[in-house]
Amino acid sequence: MANWHRFNGRRDAPRESGDGSPPNDPPPADRYKKTFEVRLPNVRLWAFVLTAAVVVLFLILPLALRPHRLVFPNGQSCSSAEARPEKYDIRDYAALTWNIGRMSSAHGAFGTDCNACHETPFVPVQSAQCLKCHEGIQQHADLRHVIPEKLARVDLAQQRCESCHREHKGMTIATRDSQSDCVACHGRLTDFIDIQGYVAEGRRPRFVKNRTDFGVDHDDFHPALVQDAAARLQVHYEPGDQDHGNVAFTHRVHFFGVAQGLKELRDKHPEQHCDLCHLPAPDGAGFRVVTYEQHCDNCHTLRFEPSKDWKLPHGHPEEIASRIAGYYADATLRGEDLFNRPAKDVLPKPGEPMPQAKPLDRLTAVDRTTAAILMCRIAPSTCGECHVEKPKSDQCELGSAWEMPPVFVPDRYFPEANFRHDKHATTGCTYCHVLEDQSDPDPNHHHRPETEIGLLLPKITVCRNCHSGQASPVQRVASTCITCHGFHDKTLSPVAPAAAASACPALREPSAMASDAK
Amino acid sequence: MRSAAPIAPSAIHRSFLGWKNGLYAKVGLGASALAAALYWMHQPDGPPNGGTLLGYTYGTVGAALIVWLAWFGIRRRRYGVPMGLDGLLSAHVYLGLSLVVVATLHTGFRFHWNVHTLSYVLMVAVIASGTFGAFAFWHYPPQMTANRAGASLEAMTAELAAFDSRCRELAPMFPDDIKGLVISAIDDAKLRRSGWTRIWRGADPCRVATLTALNRIREEVGRPKGSTAAEIVVVSQTLTRRLAVVEKLRRDRAYRARLLLWRAVHVPLTVALLAALAIHIVAVFFYR
């Protein structure tokens, strides 16, 4: 053995001790066994190190380093911007290790301040937290008509926002688009609503029906026709109803009738029939209001016949009367013999010449002529061409001025539907708004004839050409309830009670805003 | 450093993979297929994620599987496993593989830089290392047996020691240069090579030294030297057979390393995974 060590070149003498080896080296066979053995790293040590790293980095740090408490107008303070950090630091990164997914863009402003919404650990986010900012959000249903036992399900103050709106699911806040929740109530709505009370309020019980799917049992559309133009009141169509917007306009006359001027315009712009009057509104959803000055004045000029240069102002009846009277008074004063005849009650005796009218008679004649022209010529023929109402009195007297009934052409005839024209522009206008020639009526057409209600509005079958309900989307756009309908009803009261409203003066109470709007 | 005894894999080698006609392979495959089919049929509100009803189901099943699979590390050390260690290992392997499907569906394919994805990555690493282990136990033992050719590790090291002492007896009889070469060739320091030098330094020093010695000896064999003619032939043969045994031992060591070292990844990562999983669950319910 000593001999071997001499030639080993590394160790000249056997070791006594020191590294735990025995004074004499083990026999070569055992030494070789050690040389060729496989050593497993210290598994327990590595397990401990890795686990400790995970616990420190992902449990202790996120809990110990609370991220920045941001200042937001959710009941804490209104003076924002002072505590907003420019960059993430370690506290933010520690918080982000627990973030389950990207926040929506709007709530991204909360950054890593988890406590802005998650108030109490292990307790789901409460709606009260949401309502601190979203205080104006409205109820879904008019709670006065809900049967008391069902109130807990309908009253949004007793529901969680999160049951429909999911955060941490990407750039847009995920809203439930399944209609199962809608159908849970609307499938048996008659169990939820006190119909007697509903009807007693003078409302038509149309919406109190059990409905489950757009493609299956959705009613045909009931456009909201104008019932009272002065009050801007729209009421949903029932058979026999007519629109009372007080404009005697029909598309039929302008397309197939005697409207020669429009025909010339149409021939000039063969592809732009609708665009001649209906110009898209800036938001793209609807159209600009059609005005007399822009769209009717070309053909329906308010000319005053004695002179071609005289045009009467649209929309100002008193001004019209005064202008006509002024014209004749002026002519009379200038000595033009327009009214050189006596008043109606001064008749010549038989055999005598017609007595000359006195100046006073002449002025009376001006009044009377003005009244006659207003009442019997301009009003019925010129104004009455478009404005439907008749004058209150059929006497041609100036005192009984013709009262113009107010005109109301609403923006939307389907106010419950979130329809956007710009998103449907590819189909073209006439896909939905068809003006059939009366000579060729199609009994199965999908469109409501203009003669029925005075408007060119589609029936539900037009929509169903492309949209199905959620149930059977075969080569159709699967459309759930909220594809067209909003959930929070803007006409109803807010969910948040006034007490829960924010202390921030910048956020005003919805009721105050509503009264301002009026 | 804790040295592990050499594994004698014949007990569980291969038998666990086809235990009871691959019963657990079928169970795992069926569970994966069921999970995938449910995922395909499920139409959640918004993107699929671990927070839907089905997502919670996947998560609960997955967490239970992880805990049960980790429990195998303790269970396998005890006697009296009802289904036998083969059956338990078979279930461990196949249900562990199906865990990949269940956990991936639990994520809803949403991955971010957070503790939740960390748990998933750790789980995948554990399963990958375990898969290599299962492959190693299936693939290497036959090669290992063929390499040993019936000899035990003790017999081989004893043979190596015998060759050494034979060479050491004969070496002093030769001229100094040959003596030095022979002693250099049997230097056991040339056998101890770390994994890193094996890759980095290239040629095997033991093999190089032995071949150098043999080349020098071969020159000497032809010369009439009288007294040492027979010994030099013996030394030549001894060195040649010694090199063969060394290479056999080297291969044997490599096989044993492959059968053993994956556990150095599998076990620590499993413990870290259990911690990350617990934090994942706490975090998800802490901020609900």
Interface contact flag, A62 B283, Cβ < 8 Å: yes
Mapped to the 3 state alphabet, what secondary structure does B192-246 carry? CCCHHHHHHCCCCHHHHHHHHHHHHHHHHHCCCCHHHHHHHHHHHHHHHHHHHHH
Check if B8 contacts A (Cβ < 8 Å): no
| Residue A317 CB coordination number (10 Å) | 17
Q: Once rounded to an integer, what is the mean pLDDT over residues B48-54? A: 85
- Counting residues of chain A whose pLDDT is more than 70, the rounded percentage is 67
End-to-end CA distance of chain B: 44
Check if B165 contacts A (Cβ < 8 Å): yes
Residue A70 has pLDDT above 60, yes or no: no
Check if B196 contacts A (Cβ < 8 Å): no
Residue A398 has pLDDT above 80, yes or no: no
Q: Chain B window 83-112: which residues touch A at a Cβ cutoff of 8 Å?
A: 110, 112
CA-to-CA distance for A213 and A485, rounded, in angstroms? 13
The average confidence (pLDDT) of chain B is: 85
A62 contacts in chain B (CB < 8 Å): 115, 283
Residue A517 has what pLDDT? 36
Check if B38 contacts A (Cβ < 8 Å): no
Residue B250 has pLDDT above 50, yes or no: yes
Residue A508 has pLDDT above 60, yes or no: no
Lowest-pLDDT range of A135-149, A222-236, A269-283? A269-283
What phi, psi does A233 have (nearest 5°)?
Answer: -100, 125
Greatest CA span in chain B, whole angstroms? 96
CA distances to A231, B15, B89, B270, B275 from B69, in Å = 73, 19, 10, 9, 15
Lowest-pLDDT range of A9-18, A253-262, A390-399, B63-72? A9-18
Residues B181-207, buried b or exposed e (16+ Cβ, 10 A)?
Answer: bbbbbbbbebbebeeeeeeeeeebbbe
Residue A302 has what pLDDT? 79
Q: Is pLDDT larger for residue A394 or for residue B27? A: B27
Interface contact flag, B275 A125, Cβ < 8 Å: no
Which residues, 6+ apart, have CB-to-CB distance to A152 below 8 Å? Answer: A158
Residue A503 has what pLDDT? 40
Distance from the Cα of residue A421 to its chain's centroid: 12
A3 contacts in chain B (CB < 8 Å): 168
Q: Is pLDDT larger for residue B222 or for residue B111? A: B111
User: Do A367 and A360 touch, CB atoms closer than 8 A?
Assistant: no
Residue A401 has pLDDT above 80, yes or no: no
CA distances to A309, A312, A362 from A329, in Å = 18, 17, 9
How confident is the model over A103-134, as pLDDT tens digits? 888 888 777 888 888 888 888 888 888 888 88
Q: Is pLDDT larger for residue B157 or for residue A261? A: B157
Residue B7 has pLDDT above 50, yes or no: no
CA-to-CA distance for A128 and A500, rounded, in angstroms? 8
Q: Once rounded to an integer, what is the mean pLDDT over residues B12-30? A: 80
Check if A473 contacts B (Cβ < 8 Å): no
How confident is the model over A9-19, as pLDDT tens digits? 333 334 444 44
User: Do A21 and A15 touch, CB atoms closer than 8 A?
Assistant: yes
User: Do A62 and A98 touch, CB atoms closer than 8 A?
Assistant: yes
β-strand pairing of A165-166 with A174-175: antiparallel
Q: Is pLDDT larger for residue A515 or for residue A489? A: A489
Torsion sign (Cα): A144, A150, A154, A156: positive
How confident is the model over A359-371, as pLDDT tens digits? 666 667 677 677 6
Confidence of residue A165 (pLDDT cuts 50, 70, 90): confident
Lowest-pLDDT range of A133-137, A199-203, A407-411, A450-454? A450-454
Lowest-pLDDT range of A45-49, A247-251, B96-100, B275-279? A247-251
Ranges A217-226, A404-413, B106-115, most confident: B106-115
Lowest-pLDDT range of A70-79, A149-158, A210-219, B34-43? A70-79
Select from A29, A46, A174 the Cβ nearest to the Cβ of B45: A174
Q: Is pLDDT larger for residue B59 or for residue A451? A: B59
Select from A49, A98, A101 the Cβ nearest to the Cβ of B283: A98
CA-to-CA distance for A161 and A173, rounded, in angstroms? 12
Confidence of residue B186 (pLDDT cuts 50, 70, 90): confident
Residue B66 has what pLDDT? 96
Alpha-carbon gap: A80 to the closest alpha carbon of chain B (Å): 24
Interface contact flag, B113 A97, Cβ < 8 Å: yes
Residue A100 has what pLDDT? 87
Confidence of residue A341 (pLDDT cuts 50, 70, 90): low
Select from A41, A97, A169 the Cβ nearest to the Cβ of B49: A169
CA-to-CA distance for B251 and B257, rounded, in angstroms? 10
Distance from the Cα of residue A148 to its chain's centroid: 30
Quote the radius of gyration of chain B (alpha carbons, Å).
28
Instruction: Please give the DSSP secondary-structure letter assigned to residue A402.
Output: P
CA-to-CA distance for A295 and A299, rounded, in angstroms? 9
Check if B177 contacts A (Cβ < 8 Å): no
Token pair listed for A312: 């009467």
Token pair listed for A141: 């249903």
Confidence of residue B61 (pLDDT cuts 50, 70, 90): very high
Q: State which amino acid sits at residue B164.
A: D
Q: Chain B window 109-128: which residues touch A at a Cβ cutoff of 8 Å?
A: 110, 112-116, 118
Instruction: Please give the DSSP secondary-structure letter assigned to residue A242.
Output: -
B263 contacts in chain A (CB < 8 Å): 40, 43
Q: Is pLDDT larger for residue A295 or for residue A447? A: A295
Alpha-carbon gap: B20 to the closest alpha carbon of chain A (Å): 32
Token pair listed for B259: 């059968």
B274 contacts in chain A (CB < 8 Å): 51
Interface contact flag, B45 A3, Cβ < 8 Å: no
How confident is the model over A474-505, as pLDDT tens digits? 888 888 888 898 888 888 888 876 544 444 33
Closest CA in chain B for residue A99: B114
Residue A328 has what pLDDT? 74
Interface contact flag, A50 B269, Cβ < 8 Å: yes
Residues A156-193, buried b or exposed e (16+ Cβ, 10 A)?
Answer: bbeeebbebbbbbbbeebbebebbeebbebbeebeebb
Residue A500 has what pLDDT? 44
Q: Packing angle between helix B53-75 and helix B84-107, nearest 10 degrees?
A: 150
Token pair listed for A59: 């449990």
Q: Chain A window 168-187: which residues touch B at a Cβ cutoff of 8 Å?
A: 169-170, 174, 176-178
Q: State which amino acid sits at residue A39.
A: R
Lowest-pLDDT range of A163-167, A311-315, B226-230? B226-230
B112 contacts in chain A (CB < 8 Å): 99-102
How confident is the model over B102-159, as pLDDT tens digits? 999 999 998 999 999 999 999 999 999 999 999 998 889 889 999 988 888 889 989 9
Tally: H helices and E strands in chain B: 10, 1
Closest CA in chain B for residue A48: B268
Confidence of residue A284 (pLDDT cuts 50, 70, 90): confident
Interface contact flag, A54 B275, Cβ < 8 Å: yes
Mapped to the 3 state alphabet, what secondary structure does A452-478 carry? HHCCCCECHHHHHCCEECCCCCCCCEE
Interface contact flag, A114 B282, Cβ < 8 Å: no
Interface contact flag, B257 A28, Cβ < 8 Å: no
Lowest-pLDDT range of A63-77, B76-90, B176-190? A63-77
Closest CA in chain B for residue A27: B161
**DSSP code per residue over B131-192:** HHHHHHHHHHHHHHHHHHTT--HHHHHHHHHHHHHHHHHHGGGS-HHHHHHHHHHT-GGGT-
SS3 A441: coil
Confidence of residue A339 (pLDDT cuts 50, 70, 90): low
Q: Which residue has the tokens 């302008």?
A: A254
CA-to-CA distance for A352 and B246, rounded, in angstroms? 158
Burial of A314 (0-12, 13-18, 19+ CB in 10 A): middle
Q: Is pLDDT larger for residue B60 or for residue B169? A: B60
Q: Packing angle between helix B23-41 and helix B84-107, nearest 10 degrees?
A: 10
Interface contact flag, B115 A178, Cβ < 8 Å: no
Residue A385 has pLDDT above 80, yes or no: no
β-strand pairing of A477-478 with A467-468: parallel
CA distances to A288, A423, B74 from A419, in Å = 16, 8, 64
Confidence of residue A226 (pLDDT cuts 50, 70, 90): confident
**DSSP code per residue over A68-80:** -----TTTT-S--
Which residues, 6+ apart, have CB-to-CB distance to A95 below 8 Å? Answer: A62, A65, A66, A67, A112, A114
Residue A283 has pLDDT above 70, yes or no: yes
Across the A/B interface, how many CB contacts are shorter than 8 Å? 164
Confidence of residue A85 (pLDDT cuts 50, 70, 90): low
Which residues, 6+ apart, have CB-to-CB distance to A188 below 8 Å? Answer: A210
Q: Once rounded to an integer, what is the mean pLDDT over residues A407-418? A: 86
CA-to-CA distance for A493 and A143, rounded, in angstroms? 10
Instruction: Please give the DSSP secondary-structure letter assigned to residue A485.
Output: B
Token pair listed for B57: 């189901």
Residue A117 has what pLDDT? 85
The average confidence (pLDDT) of chain A is: 74
B270 contacts in chain A (CB < 8 Å): 47
Closest CA in chain B for residue A58: B115
Confidence of residue A442 (pLDDT cuts 50, 70, 90): low
Ranges A212-226, A481-495, B122-136, B198-212, most confident: B122-136
Check if B256 contacts A (Cβ < 8 Å): yes
Q: Is pLDDT larger for residue A187 or for residue A265? A: A187
SS3 A174: strand
Residue B205 has what pLDDT? 82
Q: State which amino acid sits at residue A236.
A: H
A122 contacts in chain B (CB < 8 Å): 285-286, 288
